[in-house]
Copies of this chain bind each other. A is one copy, B any other.
């Protein structure tokens, strides 16, 4: 069931080590990364990025990397931006929950691990699910003289929508579905414990804490899960929750669901037209798929991937020009969209329109 962690790479190749990076800065100097429009600046300390105290845990928490990317993107863009605008706040990787703390919390509750947020295993033939799959801390800070002052903490909690288990080692896998109401109940119960524990930390007694709940997509999903509720608290108690109604889908839809017409956003229809235009451009068929996200039935954006066999650089150039025109003509207006043009898994070009923009950009990856 384990998938390759595709963004984890081992040592890089052919790199000589240089220690010139810090220049003449003092080693505890704080600077920021700089940001591109609408994104956060982040903390650099002594010339190096201030990594999370739980660095590496997130990658271990997810077999399905779509859940990982989607969880972290959502926590930043859907949740944190509601409370801490990139204009006024600097992003800092979580500094208060360590890898070992998170490891304990994500475990099952046992006499050895009383802090585990997941229930004891129970019967091996009918085990209790692991509900809480991932937890991430993000800190939002502001510059105050030469140092940074913590202004708020955002916590994401990912709850499984299904649980896979074996009745015996090397036996077949069984899957238990976890109902939406159970996902909610488990998430809220965990959130209450987490907030209480955070308030016991000296530095976290007087900052707002935002907690957001995320329903993990199934293991074999080609798109991640979604955030479905969040709350903000200034005390050790969790207050009322605000619901979120996001939906992710993979396009084209499975053939049985030819009732794609019933799609409330119309996205599926636009995408079908685009796909038809694109996939027969070459004598060989091109694969065209997409992830789409909607909120309250309204499309929020798309990630499109086109995979085809190119026989020359000139074919890549011509295809990219064509995709820009086809995107303008067929894809929905008013939302961010990116289109990855690749052969095998090697990217050859990208065509994209940013949030809030009506202009399509394109870039072809050349080589000298």
Contacts and interface: CB of A to CB of B under 8 A. Distances in A.
Interface string A277-297: 101111101111101110000
Contact of A317 (B8, B40, B47, B317): B40
Interface in A51-70: 51-52, 55-56, 58-59, 66, 68-70
Nearest to A325: B34
A111 interface: no
A280 B42 CA distance: 16
A319 interface: yes
B368 A363 contact: no
A35 interface: yes
Interface in A249-284: 252, 255, 272-273, 275-277, 279-283
A2 B55 CA distance: 40
A237 interface: no
A4 to B, nearest CB: 9
A1 interface: no
A281 B48 contact: yes
Interface in A17-37: 17-22, 33-36
Contact of A345 (B42, B68, B311, B345): B345
Interface stretch (A172-180, A190-198, A208-216, A302-310): A302-310
A344 B293 CA distance: 27
A42 B325 CA distance: 12
Contacts of A311: 8, 51-52, 55-56, 58-59
Interface string A206-232: 000000000000000001100000000
A126 interface: no
Of all A-B residue pairs in the complex, the 7 with the closest CB atoms, nearest first, are A12-B287, A42-B318, A72-B313, A34-B325, A21-B280, A33-B322, A69-B367
Interface of A: 6-22, 33-36, 39-42, 44, 47-49, 51-52, 55-56, 58-59, 66, 68-70, 72-73, 76, 91, 93, 136, 138, 223-224, 248, 252, 255, 272-273, 275-277, 279-283, 285-289, 291-293, 301, 303, 307-322, 324-325, 338, 340, 343-348, 350, 352, 354, 361-363, 365-368
16 contacts: A7-B343, A14-B289, A18-B275, A19-B280, A20-B276, A34-B324, A34-B325, A58-B311, A69-B366, A70-B367, A72-B314, A76-B317, A91-B318, A291-B367, A350-B363, A363-B363
